Amino acid sequence: MSSLLQTIDVNKKFGGLSAVTSLNMDVGAGDIIGLIGPNGAGKTTSFNLITGVYTPTSGKVIFNGQDITGMKPHAITHLGVARTFQNIRLFKEMSVLENVLVAQHMRMGANIFEATLRLPSYLKKEKHVHERAYALLEEVDLVEHAHAKATSLSYGKQRRLEIARALATEPKLLFLDEPAAGMNPQESVELMDFILKIRDQFNLTIVLIEHHMQLVMGVCKRMYVLDYGVTIAHGTPEEIQKDPKVIEAYLGVE
């Protein structure tokens, strides 16, 4: 399987603190990869380095054969990388539908002249964008809430809306930062099925940070484990469960 994403000796320092040290990930097209570790291990920082929120101190990030190291987040999104956040970041004053619509503007291909004059070419694109937004809401079981305010949704449904908004950018690679955070056990089980469904339906590659071990072990083909910014293990869920370094990082030693 060909690599869609590679991080090559990626390092990030904040002053004298090494937040991430020699991150080497290899993510194949169609993979679902887990990035796990104790709190403060550098997981979200790693996401931020790949998606352009932070610029690596050294090392390279290669996506789909292109060096994207240090590119701006919007440029990386345009290439086909999308993400959700540990703390849900919806447009709170917008409706559910509007949250999905706003994410599609980068793919709409309209210019100011077309939009200002409401030319037929613009109206056709606008119609297509609305149809696709409704279709995405249908896929995440939110279409009945299309005109409700985003903040009126339950926590689990807000998570689904955030994923739908990410899907609206037409990604090849989707980063999910603790998608099960705040969910009850039943919602977490449903989320596991949902992640597998969207991977297949949208031909996605997915990398996720998750503390919910049942979920991450259930959906991930391979896993990377970070501790204090250092990769301490890499392998299948079965290998990770038995790794002494992972057990020590999570449980400590006597």
pLDDT in tens, 218-250: 999 999 999 999 999 999 999 998 999 998 887
pLDDT at position 117, please? 59
Q: What's the pLDDT score for residue 128?
A: 74
Range of the domain at 97: 89-169
What length is written for the chain?
254
At residue 116, the pLDDT reads 63
pLDDT at 130: 86
Residues 42 and 119 in one domain: no
Q: What local confidence, expressed as pLDDT, does residue 1 receive?
A: 55
Task: State residue 103's pLDDT score.
Answer: 84
Q: Is the domain of 58 the same as that of 183?
A: yes
154 and 209 co-located in one domain: no
Provide the pLDDT for residue 108.
55
Has residue 8 got a pLDDT over 90?
Answer: yes
- The DSSP bridge pattern shows strands 205-209 and 66-67 to be unpaired
Return the HEC string of the chain.
CCEEEEEEEEEEEECCEEEEEEEEEEEECCCEEEEECCCCCCHHHHHHHHCCCCCCCEEEEEECCEECCCCCHHHHHHHCEEECCCCCCCCCCCEHHHHHHHHCHHHHCCCHHHHHHCCHHHHHHHHHHHHHHHHHHHHCCCHHHCCCEHHHCCHHHHHHHHHHHHHCCCCCEEEEECCCCCCCHHHHHHHHHHHHHHHHHCCCEEEEECCCHHHHHHHCCEEEEEECCEEEEEECHHHHHHCHHHHHHHHCCC
**Using only C-alpha atoms, what is the Rg of the chain?**
19
* pLDDT of residue 254 exceeding 90: no
Q: What is the pLDDT of residue 29?
A: 95
Sign of the CA dihedral with 237 first, then 36, 210, and 30 last: negative
**pLDDT tier, 51 (very low <50, low <70, confident <90, very high otherwise):** very high
Which of 131, 124, 127 lies closest to 146 in space, CA to CA? 131
Q: What is the pLDDT of residues 98-136, one digit of tens each?
A: 999 988 776 555 556 565 656 676 567 677 788 889 999
Shared-domain flag, residues 127 and 26? no
Among the candidates 169, 187, 209, a domain finishes at: 169
206 and 227 share one domain: yes
Domain count, the chain: 2
Instruction: Check: CB of residue 63 under 8 Å from CB of residue 254.
Output: no
33/108 Cα distance (integer angstroms): 30
* pLDDT of residue 63 exceeding 90: yes
What pLDDT score was predicted for residue 112? 60
Percent of the chain with pLDDT over 70: 90
Which of these three, 119, 139, 169, is where a domain ends? 169
